[in-house]
Amino acid sequence: MSGFAEQILPNYINHIDDAVENFCDQHWPCEFVHPKTNLRCVNVRSGHTKGHQSADGKVIAAGEYVSKFSFDRHGEEFRTKVYSCLVDLLRELTARCRNGESEERAAAAIHKSKVMNNFFSRAVPVNANVKPPHASLTSHTACFCCLFGQAEHFLPCGHVLCTQCLRTYGKQRGLHVFRIIGCPMEKTGEPRAHIWDVYMKPRAAGVRILTLDG
């Protein structure tokens, strides 16, 4: 299993390194804390041009960006953890396929339980006014289920799936109807895991708009 992972990982090394480097450059704030006021610098490396600044934009001290977390120090560690996760995922995929599950269905189930559920449970803070909390994290352009397809099919929960994800997580019930049990971006067993029928536009059909202009 580890040998197979070693064959796959090199194809994604550049993407992994770019992600960590971008995070360190664009998102990780400076760790400088003013010794007298205890104000912490909020500037990221790419925006650290005026020195150390507080949240209200005031310059609290002069100096360069300060951080113990960097790509040079932690890039290799991140690669190792990605490799370890890949080995675990491949091991579970193999076990599911041995039990008779198709590779596509097994991969989709693992992606939902191991990846999406973890991500969406942490991506959006709990908000009593939004049910479920992660329903506010949605897109009308990119499918957040796979990050590859065009978001086209609206679910009652507010999320939008691409055609491939709808086919993967749903079951065809008619010529142009797919039934999906709950949203793949929400935890299995949530109260909102309803059964929905999603109607797909036939490939040869054009877009029709009804106008009522008198």
pLDDT tens figures, 11-43 = 889 999 999 999 999 999 999 999 999 999 999
Whether 163 and 90 share a structural domain: no
Decide if 210 is inside a domain.
no
Contact 159, 197 (CB under 8 A): no
Decide if 209 is inside a domain.
no
- How high is the pLDDT of residue 133? 47
Whether 142 and 114 share a structural domain: no
What is the Cα–Cα distance from 71 to 21, expressed in whole angstroms? 5
Domain span at residue 162 reads 134-199
Helices (H), the chain: 2-8, 13-26, 71-98, 103-110, 117-123, 163-169
More confident residue, 16 or 135: 16
Decide if 88 is inside a domain.
yes
> What's the chain's Rg over C-alpha atoms?
23
- Model confidence pLDDT, tens digit, residues 168-200: 999 888 888 999 888 888 765 554 457 888 888
Least confident of 26-30, 56-60, 144-148, 202-206: 202-206
Q: In terms of pTM, does the model score above 0.75? A: no
Contact 42, 54 (CB under 8 A): yes
More confident residue, 206 or 26: 26
- How high is the pLDDT of residue 65? 97
Whether 26 and 56 share a structural domain: yes
Residue 146 to residues 37, 70, 105, 166, Cα–Cα distance (Å): 45, 28, 14, 11
As for how many domains the chain has, the answer is 2
Whether 164 and 87 share a structural domain: no
User: What is the residue-averaged pLDDT of the chain?
Assistant: 85
Contact 128, 142 (CB under 8 A): no
Q: Which residues pair with 99 in a beta bridge?
A: none
Whether 96 and 8 share a structural domain: yes
Decide if 95 is inside a domain.
yes
Residue 95: pLDDT over 80: yes
pLDDT band at 4 (very low <50, low <70, confident <90, very high): confident
Structure tokens at 16: 């992994």
